[in-house]
């Protein structure tokens, strides 16, 4: 069953600034290793960059910023590293929630929360609740998130819906319903995806939502990523002809 392309402006109407930017923040470990530092030093520097890029996104005029902070596969990392990552996550949520709220940022977290300690889940829920009415920027943090797992979960919910409806759904109904069962429900599809560190893949991130997303891959490691680099990626995006699967008629 094919998915219809999303309703979208024509290429000539495409905004110079993408409404939604998603970033795979990669390269913390390599950044630390190149400096003879432990991996945790790279992660700490990466958290500092998150603060800077959230502010930069607001300055540029981006409406939604999604950051791939911790994937479902990252639970397979060494226990000591996971412990340090969770400690940093606690610190970030405790120290930054009030600032995000003051800046008019709405925080939303997507991913499977069941593997997180209860105190982290509570911090996430409190931050989401406190910032829920903010409108200057929506910051989506993907924590314990995997694109395939998200699709599987949504398919299960859709199957349950079909069972309860006791009828076959039309293709249009499926296309309309399925996104509502994803963890990203209510979040617009990314206009631009950026991945740092030189890797050229999306690593199980937002598989469904990125069907018509533009991509920028940069060799810059996440701890070195700056507002100027974000602006450069946005400028690259602004030059592109977004066709959403449509082929223009060429004459002459």
- Is it the case that residue 251 has pLDDT exceeding 60? no
User: Percentage of the chain with pLDDT > 70?
Assistant: 91
- As annotated, the active-site residues are 26, 74
CA distance 235 to 243: 18
Give the model's pLDDT for residue 7: 45
Look at residue 250 and tell me whether its pLDDT is greater than 70: no
Decide which of 55 and 174 is more confident: 55
| Separation between Cα atoms, residue 97 and residue 95, nearest integer Å | 6
Is pLDDT of 15 > 90? no
Digit-coded pLDDT (tens) for 63-103: 999 999 888 888 888 899 899 999 999 999 999 999 999 99
Kindly write down the DSSP assignment for every residue of the chain, as one continuous string.
Answer: -PPPPPP---GGG--SS-SEEEEE---HHHHHHHTT--HHHHHHHHHHHHHHHHHHHHHHT-SEEEEEEEEGGGGGS-HHHHHHHHHHHHHHHHHHHHHHHHTTEEEEEES-GGGS-HHHHHHHHHHHHHHTT--SEEEEEEEEE-HHHHHHHHHHHHHHHHHHHTSPPPHHHHHHHHHHHSTTTTSPPPSEEEE-TT--S-TTSSTTTTTT-EEEE-SS-GGG--HHHHHHHHHHHHTS---TT-------
Percent of the chain with pLDDT over 90: 80
The confidence score (pLDDT) of residue 1 equals 43
Q: Could you report the per-residue pLDDT of 187-204, keeping only the tens digit for each?
A: 999 999 999 999 999 999
* Residue pLDDT, tens place only, 211-236: 999 999 999 999 999 999 999 999 99
Closest CA to 60 of 194, 230, 192, 188: 230
Kindly report the pTM of this predicted structure: 0.88
User: What is the per-residue pLDDT for 75?
Assistant: 86
Per residue in 18-37, pLDDT (tens digit) is 999 999 999 999 999 999 99
Predicted local confidence at residue 169, as pLDDT: 87
Domains of the chain: 17-146+189-238 (3.40.1180.10)
Specify the pLDDT at position 245.
Answer: 63
pLDDT of 5 over the 60 cut: no
The pLDDT of residue 248 is: 45
pLDDT at 4: 44
Residue 206 to residues 20, 66, 90, 139, 203: CA-CA distances in angstroms?
A: 13, 10, 24, 15, 9
């Amino acid at each position: 069953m094919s998915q219809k392309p999303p309703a979208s402006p024509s290429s000539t109407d495409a905004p110079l600034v993408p409404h939604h930017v998603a970033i795979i923040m990669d390269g913390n470990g390599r950044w630390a290793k190149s400096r003879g530092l432990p991996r945790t030093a790279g992660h700490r520097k990466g958290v500092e960059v998150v603060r800077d890029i959230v502010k930069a996104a607001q300055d540029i005029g981006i409406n939604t910023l999604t950051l791939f902070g911790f994937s479902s596969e990252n639970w397979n990392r060494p226990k000591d590293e996971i412990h340090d990552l969770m400690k940093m996550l606690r610190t970030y949520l405790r120290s930054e929630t009030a600032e995000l709220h003051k800046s008019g940022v709405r925080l939303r977290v997507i991913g499977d929360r069941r593997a997180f300690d209860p105190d982290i889940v509570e911090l996430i829920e409190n931050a989401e609740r406190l910032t829920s009415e903010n409108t200057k920027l929506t910051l989506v943090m993907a924590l314990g998130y995997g694109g395939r797992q998200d699709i599987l979960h949504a398919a299960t919910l859709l199957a349950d819906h079909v069972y309860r409806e006791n009828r076959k759904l039309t293709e249009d109904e499926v296309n309309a319903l399925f996104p509502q069962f994803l963890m990203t429900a209510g979040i617009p599809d990314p206009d631009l995806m950026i991945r740092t560190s030189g890797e050229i893949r999306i690593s199980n991130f937002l598989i469904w939502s990125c069907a018509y997303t533009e991509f920028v891959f940069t060799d810059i490691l996440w701890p070195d990523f700056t507002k100027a680099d974000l602006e450069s990626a946005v400028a690259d995006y602004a030059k592109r002809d977004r066709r959403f699967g449509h082929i223009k008629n060429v004459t002459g």
